[in-house]
Chains A and B, each alone.
Chain A
Amino acid sequence: MPDRPLKVLIAKPGLDGHDRGAKVLARGLRDEGFEVVYTGLRQTPEMVVTAALQEDVDVVGLSILSGAHMTLVPKVCRLLREQGIDDVLVVVGGIIPDDDVAALKEAGVAATFGPGTTIGEVAEFLRSNAKPRG
């Protein structure tokens, strides 16, 4: 079925409690026709990867506002690769300084979305770049 919904995991790794952005995006992507798995606050990288594996998502979206992205994001990417999950699109949202973006892309992130990004922009990027499951 070619036009089945894309499945997106929205996860908040780390300890910051600011989940408004993740929830707004989860709801916004729902309205854009995505199937969104939302996992809630305070996820370890292992929990994120377990959820991505079991749910067989097309996209992993990480929301981080704590400043710990240089630790958490590469770890999630590494664990995904260790599980053989090499066909999932990883994107990051939150407060990501410009200087860090190149390193995150090096680690395996397809895009970062900072403050001011519209839901439409995120949806469009995911539709153009995710590889849907057979």
Chain B
Amino acid sequence: MIPADPDALAQAALGGDRRALARILTAVENRTPAAEAALRILYPKAGRAHLVGITGPPGSGKSTLVSAIIANAREAGRAVGVVAVAPSSPITGGALLGDRVRMQSYAGDSSVFIRSMAARGHAGGLAPTSTAAAAVLDACGFDLVLLETVGTGQSEVEVAAAADTTVVLEAPEMGDEVQAIKAGLLEVADIVVVNKGDRPGAQRTASQLRAMLVGSGRVGRREGSNDRPRPKEPEVLVTTATTGDGVPELMAALARHRQGRPSGADDPTRRARAAAQVWAILGDRVRAELEGGSRVATTEAVIREVAEHRLDPFGAADRLLATLRTGGQ
């Protein structure tokens, strides 16, 4: 049996009880009060892992690459946690979580922990609770945590905020140089990987990506000429995840990227991640306040006024915020 009490559950998970860890992840996913209590204990222990986001189009080989990364990391003696997100049906709420099919070989290795998550209606490529799940794995001593997104299109860039290092996969012949300079997913890549490197055109695709992405932060700009945000300049690598070719080079690139980052709270990515989590929870809490208890009638009345076009949505939001400030009924 595993403890039902969240504090005991968190202590058990920290002590290496994988079943307790799994149960905490369930609580996190279901956003129960037990998850909050467990995170209060676990969060201060997190912050040591390298969080690596793996994203790219459906079928580009994300799960297979994750499996190859696990193999390499295990050879180096590192413990690896994986959060693999798959889409939820917008119709039924159901989901088919199939990423484990490609990540089979680690049964009995307690230093590998793979967890599938359904996106549950969330649209940015991750599940709403993926960041918290990654923090739980981090706290429990997994020093490499991989966040695999749903198969993404051009603009599901959420993973870049959730991860320290973002790897964007491309398959060979998926587009020309114009695809490479469109805004969106490729812009958030710290490392671009052309997977399926044994297919024809892989090297050409990599060359095209390099030509269009490398140096992009400097084109037409003098040093210090302005301080507008600059695009990243990702390394472009070629891997064949099924054979492991190119994966050691990817591991080296991950390590280089991590070493180049400021540590802890000096890392703007980490600060942005902290802010995003706090704002999301704050938004949920404000909504819960307004929809709960004595305020629900006022809230519904104000929303009704908006539906009747007697009040605009901005005015409604201001009025509801004012009820929070006064603690009014």
Residues on A facing B (Cβ under 8 Å) = 1, 4-5, 26-27, 29-40, 43-44, 46-47, 49-51, 53-56, 83-86, 133-134
Contacts and interface: CB of A to CB of B under 8 A. Distances in A.
A52 to B, nearest CB: 9
Given A38-B98, A44-B107, A55-B116, 11 more contacts: A26-B96, A30-B92, A33-B93, A38-B96, A38-B97, A40-B101, A47-B104, A53-B18, A53-B19, A55-B22, A134-B26
A85 B17 CA distance: 13
B96 A36 contact: yes
Contacts of A53: 18-19, 22
B95 A30 contact: yes
Given A55-B22, A84-B1, A134-B34, A50 B108 contact: yes
Contacts of B26: 56, 133-134
B30 A55 contact: no
Contact of A86 (B1, B32, B113): B1
Contacts of B114: 51, 54
B115 interface: yes
B273 interface: no
Contacts of B116: 37, 55
A54 B82 CA distance: 10
B25 interface: yes
Interface residues of B, number: 34
Interface of B: 1-2, 4, 18-19, 22-23, 25-27, 30-32, 34, 88-89, 92-98, 100-101, 104, 106-108, 113-116, 118
A113 B97 CA distance: 22
B113 to A, nearest CB: 6
A123 to B, nearest CB: 10
Contact of A35 (B2, B27, B100, B118): B118
B18 A35 contact: no
14 contacts: A1-B31, A29-B94, A30-B94, A32-B94, A35-B94, A36-B94, A37-B100, A38-B96, A38-B101, A43-B104, A51-B107, A51-B114, A86-B1, A134-B30
Contact of B93 (A5, A49, A85, A133): A5
Contacts, number: 96
B34 A40 contact: no
Interface of B is mostly: mixed
Nearest to A43: B104
A134 B93 CA distance: 19
A36 B220 CA distance: 50
Nearest to A58: B26
A37 B2 CA distance: 22
Nearest to A26: B96
Contacts of A40: 98, 100-101, 104
Nearest to A132: B30
Contact of A4 (B2, B30, B101): B30
Contacts of A86: 1
A83 B113 CA distance: 15
A5 B98 contact: no
Contacts of A35: 88, 94-95, 97, 118
A29 B106 CA distance: 27
Contacts of B94: 5, 29-36
A54 B1 contact: no
Nearest to B109: A50
A40 B88 CA distance: 19
A40 B104 CA distance: 9
A33 B31 CA distance: 19
Contact of A51 (B4, B19, B25, B100): B100
A134 B107 contact: no
Contact of B32 (A1, A31, A38): A1
Contacts of A50: 106-108
Contacts of A4: 30
B116 to A, nearest CB: 5
Contacts of B31: 1
A22 to B, nearest CB: 11
B55 to A, nearest CB: 21
Contacts of B4: 134
Given A4-B30, A134-B27, A54 B95 contact: no
A85 to B, nearest CB: 7
